[in-house]
Chain A
Amino acid sequence: MMKKLAILVAAVALIAAPFGLKPYGIYLLSLWAVMTIAAIGLNLTLGYAGQISLAQGSFVGIGAYIAALLTTQGWPLGLAFAAAIVLCFAIGWLLGYPALRVAHHYLAFVTLSFATLVFLVLRNEEWLTKGVYGISGIPRPTLAGWSTKAPLDFYFFCLLILALVAAAAGWMIRSPWGRAFTALRENPIRASSLGVDTRRYTLMAFAIGSALGGIAGVLYAPLVQFIEPTAFALGLSLNLLLMVIVGGAGRFFGPFLGAAVSVLLPEWLRFSEGLYLMLYAVFVMLLLAFCPSGLLGLGARARKSWKPSSKSAN
């Protein structure tokens, strides 16, 4: 009940938030929504299924380039969504294969290689991506007569897509699949002995997580309206990883909070002028040192210490 009320309050706050904000503020809120979608994807792969990936930013890049290439040629954004979902799902599925053989930091390096490969393709294949010059003039869509050209309209469009993605991810996590993903993370050998096809679930976790990265990319391109390869270099993947871990990996609302910390907190800290990035770094270090389970883990710990123990251990 409390949870439902909290979600309702948050939804109202998100709808009311942009009113009174300058375009830059609305841009940041939109960026938060976009990054939350990518982080929800990574949370699925890493937080629930336990498969580390340093390539989520690359899927955002693939999605963004698909959107940029198609919409600047006059194709609708809906087609870009479909193409990005299909392509990122397929590439994510293939990227999952190494995860069947290696885990942890070895898997991190495999995905790191993939991230480097995607960056090199975006930078060097000028015939397709225009290389370092990037692609500009990416239009914002008009949906059934609703133009999302203005920052406020585009923010609501991003929020709508975030709501749809969150509802779908929430459904999946509460379904038997979510349970199988958790089992895969906690103990793949036992999971397999109970009939869980760990191979298929691992590939599925990578594929769906990557497809969500692609969806975020399709929104990112018309948000910034100019994209170039460095935006999707390793830094973005690391930032998304930070969002998932700071928010609370394996917790549904973790990506929402983590993306807020990553996108909005540095801006709020700007009052400190030159020190803001340092303050941000100190905050992240302290948080992870004292609460490795992230902000939501901190919340859960606080609730536990306030609540009197309901039963003694027997």
Chain B
Amino acid sequence: MEALLEVRELRKSFGGIGAVNGVSFAVREGEILGLIGPNGSGKSTLFNCILGQLAPSSGEVRVDGRPITGMRPCDLNRLGISRTFQLLQVFPELSVRENLLLAGQEHQGSMWSRLAGPRDAGLTAAANRMIGFFRLEALADERAGSLSYGQQKLLDVAMAFMAGPRLVLLDEPAGGVNPTMLAGLRERLRAINEAERATFVVIEHNMEFVMSLCTRILVLAEGRIIAEGAPEVIRRNPAVVEAYLGG
């Protein structure tokens, strides 16, 4: 089966320092791929290069076999590739519902039709479904900035799914989320994966979360892939233990 996302020999250096040093991997449709590695191993830089936030020094990224290297983030998003960031990135002055409407509106019609059309861009029902799915009903009309950290994190993830993306790159979705909410988040992500056949790449430090969610894991250290395999294989890999605990 052809890969949905394919990264070939991707490199990114800042000055003389290589943050990503020739990373290649492929993600199949419907897969949940985990990306782990110690701090500074190049995970977020890799995400930023895939998603157009940073221009890679060399290498290629393909989606459905089509090269997307160097495309702008907004164009990638409209191709069905979505993401969340390591740090919270909701719009604090907008309400929860408005945040979700924003996350979907640019996928509706043209710029001019959005100006002339309805205020919700016809997305209120979709936003309400997303609010229900992530159990944010009681907070729908609250300012996003007034939500707790965990609730904002849920909203952040919900926004990434609002436009029905095929591929979602999640950068530390579990960071700062309490265990109860985390179990809910894992269950929600699994449900979307099964129902929509959405494909995820997940950066995460929370080993329990990533091992229980992902079907395959890549381990990055010093900008290189040092191990790849099923969660139970990775757990026992001596190179991974070495990279995390130091020698």
Contacts and interface: CB of A to CB of B under 8 A. Distances in A.
B204 interface: no
Given A175-B115, A177-B114, A194 B101 contact: no
Contacts of A191: 102
A174 interface: yes
Interface residues of B, number: 36
A258 B141 CA distance: 29
Contact of A175 (B51, B82, B114): B114
A195 B91 contact: no
20 contacts: A175-B117, A175-B119, A176-B115, A183-B94, A186-B91, A186-B92, A189-B73, A189-B85, A190-B91, A192-B73, A192-B74, A193-B51, A193-B82, A193-B85, A194-B82, A194-B162, A195-B74, A195-B77, A196-B102, A314-B148
Given A176-B121, A183-B102, A197-B106, A189 B53 contact: yes
B61 interface: no
Given A177-B115, A193-B85, A195-B163, 19 more contacts: A175-B119, A176-B114, A176-B115, A176-B117, A177-B111, A179-B98, A179-B105, A182-B91, A186-B92, A190-B85, A190-B90, A192-B73, A193-B51, A193-B53, A193-B77, A193-B89, A194-B103, A196-B74, A313-B146
B159 interface: yes
A175 B89 CA distance: 22
Nearest to B144: A186
- Interface of A, secondary structure class, is helix
Interface residues of A, number: 25
A198 interface: yes
A8 interface: no
A182 B94 contact: yes
B186 interface: no
B102 A194 contact: yes
B107 interface: yes
A314 to B, nearest CB: 7
Contacts of A200: 111
A199 B75 CA distance: 12
B8 interface: no
B72 interface: yes
Residue picked from A172, A174, A186, A200, most chain B C-beta under 10 Å: A186
Interface of A: 172, 174-177, 179-180, 182-183, 186-187, 189-200, 313-314
A42 B111 CA distance: 21
A180 B148 contact: no
Nearest to A190: B89
B73 A176 contact: no
Nearest to B111: A200
Given A186-B91, A186-B93, A197-B74, A174 B119 contact: yes
Contacts of A187: 89, 91
Contacts of B92: 186
Nearest to B85: A190
B93 A180 contact: no
Nearest to B142: A311
Interface centre among B74, B85, B103, B163 (most CB of A within 10 A): B74
Nearest to A198: B74
Contact of B107 (A182, A189, A195): A195
Contacts of B101: 176, 179
A192 B75 CA distance: 9
Interface string B78-96: 1000110100011111100
Contacts of B82: 193-194
Interface in B98-140: 98, 101-103, 105-108, 111, 114-117, 119, 121
A313 B119 CA distance: 29
B91 A183 contact: yes
A198 B159 CA distance: 17
Nearest to B108: A176
B47 to A, nearest CB: 11
A305 to B, nearest CB: 16
A176 B101 CA distance: 8
B146 to A, nearest CB: 7
